[in-house]
Structure 1
Amino acid sequence: MNRIRTLSAALLLAALGPHVAAETLKLDARSAVPAPQTGHIKMGTAVSPKGVTLAANNQYLLQDGKPWLPVMGEYHFTRAPASQWADQLRLMKAAGIDIVASYVFWNHHQEQPGAFNWKGNHDLRRFVQQAQAAGLKVVVRLGPWCHGEARYGGIPDWIVDAMPTRSNDPEYLGHVEKLYAEIGAQIKGLLWKDGGPVVGVQLENEYNLRGPGKGEEHISALKKLALKAGMDVPMYTVTGWDGAVYPSGEVIPVFGGYPDEPWAASAKELAPKETHAFRFNTRVSGDLGAQTKSHGVGTAETDKDKVPFFGAEYGPGLPAMYRRRTLVSPDDIAAMLPVQIGSGVNLLGYYMFHGGRNPVGAGGTGLEESTLSGGYNDTPRISYDFQAPLGPDGQQRPVLAKLRPFHYFLRDYGAQLATMTVRQPERSPATPADLQTPRWSVRSNGDSGYLFFNNHVRQYAMPAQTAVRFEVQLPGGTVTLPSQPVDIANGAYFIWPINADLDGVKLRHATAQLVTRVDAGAQGIVHVFAATAGIPSEFALADGLKTFKPDASLQRIGTNNGRAVSVLLLTPEQVEQMSVLDIAGQRRLVFSEQQAWVADGKLQLRGIGPQPLRAAVFPALAKPNAAGLQVKQDGLLQRLELAGEPAQPTLHITATRKAGNAPAIKRGGHANAAVQPIPEAFANAATWSLKLPEQLAPQAEDVLLELDFVGDIGRVFSGTTMLDDWYYNGQRWEIGLRQFALKPGADLKLSVLPLRADAPIYIDAAQRPAFAAGQTQVAELRGARLLTVRRVAIAP
């Protein structure tokens, strides 16, 4: 068989011509995986009332004694309406999130000295309870300094004005003790040891300050205050990048990375980012925007072999900052995942997974980070969209479809992956700027492993890797894949299994990506794979090499205790529409262009009103029922459809003021770069009246105001109250209107400050306006409309 494969490959290369030479990329994974070490990390009480344990060794987390590789996503409760929390948390769960993390911004809860505000959108206890109801665990990021693009990092003005912060100053610690006591009271009874969902807390953020009362001493003091406040939890974490300083063993460092740097001072494209290059000797992925400078090697570097590799801030989007407004593509984000997981990450944490809006302080004070309040960055007064997978009003962004398959993979196969060691190939890029050398790694334990590959770098074309095969040396022998050389295109990224155990069926290798596992009852056990675009999907099984086509049919590969074990191979497009949901006591695949999740035992579909609501389900629901629902069986899939509602509310748009001449943009601040215009500059903004209809779709769940404008800064007002604002970057701006309880026929105002042609601001080339000869500025509304958001519940 091996000789036949070799001859076939040779004949193929001969047919390709004399200029193509096969390249075998080699990696040695024969060394044993080091045994996990315990005892260094001082965790809190980690046993639930039902006896379920959480633990951590120097390699991975364990849940109930089994390795656990969870996915964590950030969602800020004070930046979202409380009325949305329940559904949004369930949407996060449906997307494969296991843990929700949230900052507790001190100045959102105690803007002035005196009583704390834990009501309405500030109700931490209710948020944690709803997370538990959605099936999510919780990590509470305590601060007191959070950053999070908040004013003074979240520390109230009255604290900053009166005393030193971020140190063991007695007056400051006295106030922090009261804050922690308040947070402790909010989550009392909701900790893991109580049967609740809170599995961890984070102390401070991006902390690299050194000196008397700082460094390790300060983090130690904060942990003692957290324990005094009753926050006895399994995990205590700190951020580990930019030379972080902390007491080794008392906390676990967490890491992150972003595909661009909106906090950078440059108004040009940046060099290739480390987040798209595998790391074999460090866990720190470049500049993450810490606002203080490190003056030595951080504890995370010296702790590398003592603690597991956890993430908390891998960016599934980017914030808008005035001087730099990067618009990332879904592939810019998703291509990071094989790299981070293939570099050893054993907890994949995102910041932000859900966008939001800043609350406005007393008297209209902005609570955002700005150069006017001494911040390093200028950010919008209200908008905290972050280009997140779920928008501020729960919109499903295209990047979410790219991320979900990786989350499902980690949920179903992460227990084995967590125990696997990172292996470096014979050749790997010396720096992130090396775009020629193939980027790949293997994680393995014994003869089983996964191959990780990335050929995507934001804003840089990667060369196609032509006539490639991989050779992985394992203790039990060498695995070479694919059977014949393949070309790997610019932009490709994937994870392929090696010697995988699929419910007793050995898969020597596959050139398709494992996604999830479904017990389909009488139809057996099904392992779902995603085809890799442009590469034949081959499966090396005990009875030979098979090539499957992604045609949504089951391919039987063996049996387990008399039950069929099958492969379901899907196209990348099909996998991107797939959610894995538990409905009526059974895990099912749900394919839909719209949002799909489960609430009250029913399948929920949510989409824009004019579109029909459609879903395809496997295994089929017994008796799907909803008013107007059409049901039919189409091969493997049960198809569900409800007709669209073409009538949409009409928005009346009237230009009300022409733009004046925008003042020149000044440079300054800590970054010595473009700073946001002063408030008086908005006197030069162009304005439009946006009159809502008398009937604003009363049956709709929400109505989105979609704005397509070109300019510098956009703002929407109801009267003199600003509802939302936006830095132009080419992304469509959407605002959910239900939360504002507007009167029928309300007249909103759109204000657009002109963007100057000479603005020293970074906007991606594809989105930057093309100024005509002699044109000095632009403030234009290209379109505005209302979109109804429709939701239906389908009983199973």
Structure 2
Amino acid sequence: MVISPRLRICAAVVASVLATGFAGAGTLSIDARAPTPAPLNAALRLGSAVAPNGDTLGTNARYLTRNGAPWLPVMGEFHYSRTPASQWEAELRKMKAAGIDIVASYVMWNHHEETEGKFDWSGNRDLRRFVQLATKAGLDVVVRVGPWAHAEVRYGGIPDWVVNAMPTRSNDPQYMRLIERLYGQIGQQLKGQLWKDGGHVIGIQLENEYNIDGPGKGVAHIAALKKLALKAGMDVPYYTVTGWDGTIYPSGEVTPVFGGYPDEPWGISTKELPPKETYAFRFDTRVSGDLGAQTAAHAPGTAETDKDVTPFLGAEYGAGLPFMYRRRTVVSADDIASMLPVQLGSGVNLMGYYMFHGGRNPLSLGGSGMEESTLSGGYNDTTMISYDFQAPLGPDGQQRKVLEKLRPYHLFLHAFGSRLAPMTVRKPDASPATPDDLKTARFAVRSEGDRGFLFVNNHVRQYPMAAQQATQFNIHLQGQSITLPSKPVDIADGAYFIWPLNLDLDGTNLHYATAQPVTLLDQGKAGVVAVFAASAGVPVEFALGDGAQVSAPGAKLSQLVTVGGSTGTYTLVSGVQPGTGAAISVQRSGKRPLTIVVLTAEQAQQLSVVQLAGQSRLLLSADQAYVDGNALQLRSVGDSKFRFAVYPALSGAPKATSTGAEWSTASAGSTRNRTGGASSTRPSNDGAFAAGDSAAATVALRAAGNDGIFQTFEATLPSRELQATITQTRNAQEASPVVIGGTAKAAIQPLPENFKAAAAWQINVPREQLKGLDDALLQIDFVGDIGRLYSGTRLLDDWYYSGYQWQFGLRQQAALLDQPLTVSVLPLRADAQIYLPKEARPNFGGDKQIAQVRGVRVIPVYQLRVTP
């Protein structure tokens, strides 16, 4: 790498007087001088936490530990039984590449024992194989064993034959005998896969959203479930329960986990909701409002009284939202990503998402739905098949914009989470009193001693925030104070970011930066590369510890002297232009070189850290990327051109092949063996497409020179224009009025008989044109109430109209393309009392209803395999 000669430090001295209590116009202050107390030893009875190789897991009252060091992992939910088993390995690797450390999954009882005594752990229900593949992908696992899961599944996952015969969610003897048998089955699936065995199962969640109290319930029930889990061999380091909505549990036996969502699809309002508290920093409580528990609490829960003796862990921060019939909330990538500075700045020490990967519900043995619905007494009406959840990874593995927005934060936690975890939350001198205060600045600091991070959020979903004009932050730390930036800046509506305070970069003190730290790449003797991301609309500047020789081509170097608390002199680097080059180079006597790269926000969203050709590398690509063994897999939806950039450069010329599905060999269903029962065939979302069913062709991979410090490559696959024909076969009839009722006393999904009013279209997609592609996404653009996709009379997928794009992957159902598919659309009535985003509300033009298919596309999905 060629570094430009060091610029001469300007003689000008910028003085920043930081007297205690001083706050000029536009100055936002936090006093973080109070000593950080040592974390209390959590009074938690963990399971076996030592692996055979000596690795340990633990916790204290503030954070998790791994081998004795602070650990702040990222957890994402992925339901194995809602995804074809043939996709698991690739999807788990995609999650790993997205920065997920732990995969969590519900065990949905009625997916495994729909008929009493006949357990099914095969095919898409093979929990053991799922855990093994997660381990292979480098992920730890938390298994949420229920027995009540919710998960928008019928009866919360408890089989019909149980619900019909006995009390549930209590210590009823008949019920508990069945739970003992269920847990025994799960224990057999996990045998040898637990942390104590050298496996990756590190946690068990008991029950879900449990706030029921009374004889044989409450504390007694959770305690009894834990005893049954241990009896079944599920001896793991961590036992958790969900901590919201007044949850009740035996203190010390389990750890509460928390969550928050940017809207309430389970709500009953047909209008936009007031600003959600999910976007406001939390200084006094961990429970973020209503999270949709289906039972009512009558007093504050155990999680509230335990908050000083348990760490603040997350499990269900919404990485998306489901569509409920009555309320169809669409969220943007910024609606989701802006929650991260808020939750981390509020003290969260495990960032857990629900859902991170979408899926599709299996059908019952009889072909009916297993979804939550008012017909089965549920509080919500969800789609029969689709469990898309607007997740970062769609049901067919497609990468969505929200994943790109989240990944820089995951990289930040991997690189700096061990420093953040011990830090405590510091409240500003002034903060919003209520979530609907859209004027007062929203920010917080987490610090320990004289080091910390500043968290800022100026985004609230569906509401404009006041721009914070001419703003500086005045942070009083132990022994010194920091004012940043050196000159006031405007923080625009929609901005959110994390800035460092006295961050140690391999022995060089970064006093502050107005850019977000993303990752560190340790290259041994060659030095360290620190990657930052520019904050939109804010000039980039770095204040670096004095004594270092700083080079910053194109930027301005000056001297920054701080006075107040303690005097310090720093090299101020201002005017940094974000990009892929070495923005700042630091040479230190007796130390390794330090290189600082400041990417644009858009470039940072394309950044991954991958293990490739025997070492960690930075990877930049707009394509979906993950590593499989020693190969880099790149996936592109709709564009046959691939481009990626790596640093450090690869030593040899990599080779590339394209991989595509053998579309002629896929089958429409599968036959599985059932533990404890005869073989049977079940209509489901099971794909019989095997991982090895692919064809490869050599592709010319072109070296495209350098982009800053990155070595770039390009490849182009043959472009495919896929054709689909659509013909209307049935006109819509007048739809019945939407009924108000159910336990929510709100709009309920139409009865099955009402679908006689649906219009229908026939879709033809010639299968032969799809050969050589990794997948093809059928994209259906419709306006109506409910859309359903069929092959003959077999329901493949369904969708509530919301304005969010409906896509269906054809690879898993390739054999069905030999006959036309059918999409039916139930008309949406103009008087339907449901919530639709204002952007999606159709123009009825004076008509009573609407049912249209505006178009159908088949989007090719290309895959490129690069081997160094």
Pick the TM interval, shorter chain: over 0.9
Question: Corresponding residue for 2:864?
Answer: 792
Partner secondary structure for residue 162 of structure 1: coil
Question: Corresponding residue for 2:728?
Answer: 655
Report Cα offsets for 1:289-313 as digits up to 9, x if no partner: 0000001110000000010000000
More divergent stretch after superposition (565-574 vs 623-632): 623-632
Partner secondary structure for residue 458 of structure 1: coil
Matched, 1:267 2:294: no
More divergent stretch after superposition (686-695 vs 312-321): 686-695
Report Cα offsets for 1:185-207 as digits up to 9, x if no partner: 00000000000000000000000
Conserved? CA contact 2:453–2:499, under 8 Å:
yes
Partner secondary structure for residue 815 of structure 2: coil
Out of 828, 844, 853, the residue aligned to residue 781 of structure 1 is 853
What is the CA-CA distance between 1:522 and the residue it aligns to? Answer: 6.8
Q: Which amino acid aligns with 1:334?
A: A
Matched, 1:587 2:616: yes
Conserved? CA contact 1:331–1:399, under 8 Å:
yes
Matched, 1:304 2:331: no
The two structures have a TM-score, normalised by structure 2, of: 0.89
Report Cα offsets for 1:199-230 as digits up to 9, x if no partner: 00000000000000000000000000000000
- The CA distance in 1 between the partners of 2:69 and 2:767, in whole Å, is 58
Partner secondary structure for residue 762 of structure 1: coil
- The CA distance in 1 between the partners of 2:11 and 2:176, in whole Å, is 69
- The CA distance in 1 between the partners of 2:773 and 2:828, in whole Å, is 36
- The CA distance in 2 between the partners of 1:377 and 1:520, in whole Å, is 52
Residues 243 and 214 of structure 1: CA distance in aligned 2, closer, same or farther (over 3 Å): same
Question: Corresponding residue for 1:17?
Answer: none
The 5 A counterparts of 1:636-647 are 636-647=709-720
What is the CA-CA distance between 1:738 and the residue it aligns to? Answer: 1.5
- The CA distance in 2 between the partners of 1:267 and 1:791, in whole Å, is 42
What is the CA-CA distance between 1:580 and the residue it aligns to? Answer: 1.3
Matched, 1:546 2:565: no
Out of 357, 360, 367, the residue aligned to residue 357 of structure 1 is 360
The 5 A counterparts of 1:609-688 are 609-623=638-652, 624-626=654-656, 627-634=699-706, 635-688=708-761
The 5 A counterparts of 1:729-768 are 729-768=802-841
Conserved? CA contact 1:695–1:744, under 8 Å:
no
What is the CA-CA distance between 1:177 and the residue it aligns to? Answer: 0.4
Conserved? CA contact 1:505–1:558, under 8 Å:
no
- The CA distance in 1 between the partners of 2:833 and 2:736, in whole Å, is 13
The two structures have a TM-score, normalised by structure 1, of: 0.97
Conserved? CA contact 2:42–2:59, under 8 Å:
no
- The CA distance in 1 between the partners of 2:152 and 2:374, in whole Å, is 11
The 5 A counterparts of 1:218-297 are 218-297=221-300
Question: Corresponding residue for 1:12?
Answer: none
- The CA distance in 2 between the partners of 1:743 and 1:753, in whole Å, is 23
Q: Which amino acid aligns with 2:620?
A: F
Matched, 1:374 2:377: yes
When the two chains are superposed, the root-mean-square deviation of aligned CA atoms in Å is 1.5
What is the CA-CA distance between 1:744 and the residue it aligns to? Answer: 5.0
Matched, 1:159 2:188: no
Report Cα offsets for 1:536-570 as digits up to 9, x if no partner: 11101124110221021112134384421011000
Conserved? CA contact 1:702–1:738, under 8 Å:
yes
Residues 165 and 795 of structure 1: CA distance in aligned 2, closer, same or farther (over 3 Å): same
Matched, 1:59 2:59: no
Question: Corresponding residue for 1:573?
Answer: 602
Question: Corresponding residue for 2:780?
Answer: 707
Structure 1 residue runs of 5 or longer lacking an equivalent are 10-20
Partner secondary structure for residue 513 of structure 1: strand
Conserved? CA contact 1:22–1:485, under 8 Å:
no
What is the CA-CA distance between 1:770 and the residue it aligns to? Answer: 2.0
Conserved? CA contact 2:451–2:501, under 8 Å:
yes
Residues 448 and 7 of structure 1: CA distance in aligned 2, closer, same or farther (over 3 Å): closer
Report Cα offsets for 1:255-278 as digits up to 9, x if no partner: 000000000000000010011000
The 5 A counterparts of 1:372-521 are 372-520=375-523
Partner secondary structure for residue 366 of structure 2: helix
Residues 680 and 632 of structure 1: CA distance in aligned 2, closer, same or farther (over 3 Å): same
What is the CA-CA distance between 1:703 and the residue it aligns to? Answer: 1.5
Conserved? CA contact 1:149–1:368, under 8 Å:
yes
Conserved? CA contact 2:766–2:817, under 8 Å:
yes
Report Cα offsets for 1:40-81 as digits up to 9, x if no partner: 010000000000000000000000011000000000000000
- The CA distance in 2 between the partners of 1:709 and 1:538, in whole Å, is 48
- The CA distance in 2 between the partners of 1:408 and 1:765, in whole Å, is 35
Question: Corresponding residue for 2:140?
Answer: 137
Q: Percent identity?
A: 60
Question: Corresponding residue for 2:33?
Answer: 30
Conserved? CA contact 1:695–1:745, under 8 Å:
no
Question: Corresponding residue for 1:73?
Answer: 76
What is the CA-CA distance between 1:775 and the residue it aligns to? Answer: 1.5
- The CA distance in 2 between the partners of 1:694 and 1:58, in whole Å, is 57
Report Cα offsets for 1:298-331 as digits up to 9, x if no partner: 0000000010000000001000100000000000
Matched, 1:596 2:625: yes
Report Cα offsets for 1:597-616 as digits up to 9, x if no partner: 10021111011254301111
Partner secondary structure for residue 361 of structure 1: coil
Q: 4+ residue runs of structure 1 moved beyond 3 angstroms?
A: 1-9, 520-523, 558-562
Conserved? CA contact 1:8–1:484, under 8 Å:
no
Report Cα offsets for 1:136-166 as digits up to 9, x if no partner: 0000000000000000000000000000000
The 5 A counterparts of 1:174-189 are 174-189=177-192
Q: Relative contact order, CA 8 A, sep 6+: which one is greater?
A: 2
Question: Corresponding residue for 2:665?
Answer: none
Partner secondary structure for residue 171 of structure 1: helix
Report Cα offsets for 1:64-106 as digits up to 9, x if no partner: 0110000000000000000000000000000000000000000
What is the CA-CA distance between 1:741 and the residue it aligns to? Answer: 3.7
Partner secondary structure for residue 603 of structure 1: strand
What is the CA-CA distance between 1:696 and the residue it aligns to? Answer: 4.0
Q: Which amino acid aligns with 2:581?
A: S
Residues 517 and 7 of structure 1: CA distance in aligned 2, closer, same or farther (over 3 Å): closer
Residues 303 and 559 of structure 1: CA distance in aligned 2, closer, same or farther (over 3 Å): same
Partner secondary structure for residue 763 of structure 1: coil
- The CA distance in 1 between the partners of 2:266 and 2:816, in whole Å, is 39
How many residues align? The count is 784
Conserved? CA contact 1:45–1:193, under 8 Å:
yes
The 5 A counterparts of 1:91-240 are 91-240=94-243
Residues 557 and 771 of structure 1: CA distance in aligned 2, closer, same or farther (over 3 Å): farther
- The CA distance in 2 between the partners of 1:703 and 1:474, in whole Å, is 55
- The CA distance in 1 between the partners of 2:182 and 2:482, in whole Å, is 56
Partner secondary structure for residue 110 of structure 2: helix
Partner secondary structure for residue 348 of structure 2: coil
Residues 2 and 141 of structure 1: CA distance in aligned 2, closer, same or farther (over 3 Å): farther
More divergent stretch after superposition (165-174 vs 732-741): 732-741
Question: Corresponding residue for 2:91?
Answer: 88
- The CA distance in 1 between the partners of 2:134 and 2:821, in whole Å, is 34
Partner secondary structure for residue 605 of structure 1: strand
Question: Corresponding residue for 2:674?
Answer: none
- The CA distance in 2 between the partners of 1:331 and 1:416, in whole Å, is 26
